């Protein structure tokens, strides 16, 4: 296995050991950090995935965005082209389950352009302190970030941090990492 694949596998294995209460508490702690960020307060449109365990939970973040009057955009992926764009997601909108159990908007939801998204919350599996990340292996976010000019943040558990991994030409960092307070 290559270096990134090994780091991804080992980190996911460790995260999968979390029980539900620990998972919810750790995710809630990171969400609270996000709500204190100036870029969160200033953003009118948030790009975010509908996370699945053991990723940092995002459903409460989405609800909070709606309560604050923000527009929520979630990604729609094309597995053949590895391209991704965002569609508006509103309360009670239908979602479709795609590969790997991801939930995405239907084709009826309006597309939200890169320019409209003020804050992109970028998922990942492994992170370096300089904002570089290893995702789930599809390359969707690296491709999207290449043209995205807005603010980027990733939420990460302490278990997801590493000191280093070899960067590739397509790797792009997020502007800010929010790392949970030590849970030990």
Instruction: Give 10-51 pLDDT, tens digit per residue.
Output: 888 898 899 999 999 999 999 999 999 999 999 999 999 999
Domain boundaries, the chain: 3-163
Residue owning tokens 């764009």: 85
Task: Give, as one character, the DSSP assignment of residue 107.
Answer: T
Q: Is the pLDDT of residue 109 over 60?
A: yes
pLDDT for position 183:
47
Q: Is the pTM of this model over 0.85?
A: yes
Task: Pick out the residues of the known binding site for substrate.
Answer: 50, 55
Task: Pick out the residues of the known binding site for ATP.
Answer: 4-8, 133-141
Q: Is the pLDDT of residue 1 over 60?
A: no
Per-chain mean pLDDT for the chain: 89
Instruction: Report the distance separating Cα 139 and Cα 172, nearest Å.
Output: 11
Task: Pick out the residues of the known binding site.
Answer: 4-8, 50, 55, 133-141
Nearest residue to 89 (alpha-carbon basis) of 48, 53, 120: 48
pLDDT for position 134:
85
Domain 3-163 has CATH 3.40.50.10420: yes
Backbone angles phi, psi at 76, to 5 degrees: -115, 125
């Amino acid at each position: 296995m290559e270096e990134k694949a090994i780091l991804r596998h080992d980190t996911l294995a460790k995260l999968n050991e979390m029980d539900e209460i620990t998972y919810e508490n750790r995710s809630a702690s990171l969400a609270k950090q996000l709500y204190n960020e100036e870029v969160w307060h200033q953003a009118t449109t948030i790009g975010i995935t509908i996370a699945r365990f053991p990723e940092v939970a995002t459903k409460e973040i989405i609800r909070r965005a709606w309560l604050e009057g923000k527009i929520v955009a979630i990604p729609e992926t094309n597995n053949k082209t590895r391209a991704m764009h965002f569609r508006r997601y509103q309360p009670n909108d239908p979602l479709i389950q795609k590969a790997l159990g991801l939930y995405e908007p239907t084709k009826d939801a309006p597309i939200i352009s890169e320019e409209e998204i003020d804050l992109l919350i970028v998922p990942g599996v492994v992170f370096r302190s300089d904002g570089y990340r290893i995702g789930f292996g599809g390359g969707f976010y690296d491709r999207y970030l290449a043209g995205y000019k807005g603010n980027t943040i990733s939420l990460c558990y302490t278990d997801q941090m590493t000191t280093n991994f070899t960067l590739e030409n397509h790797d792009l960092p997020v502007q800010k990492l929010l790392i949970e307070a030590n849970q030990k």
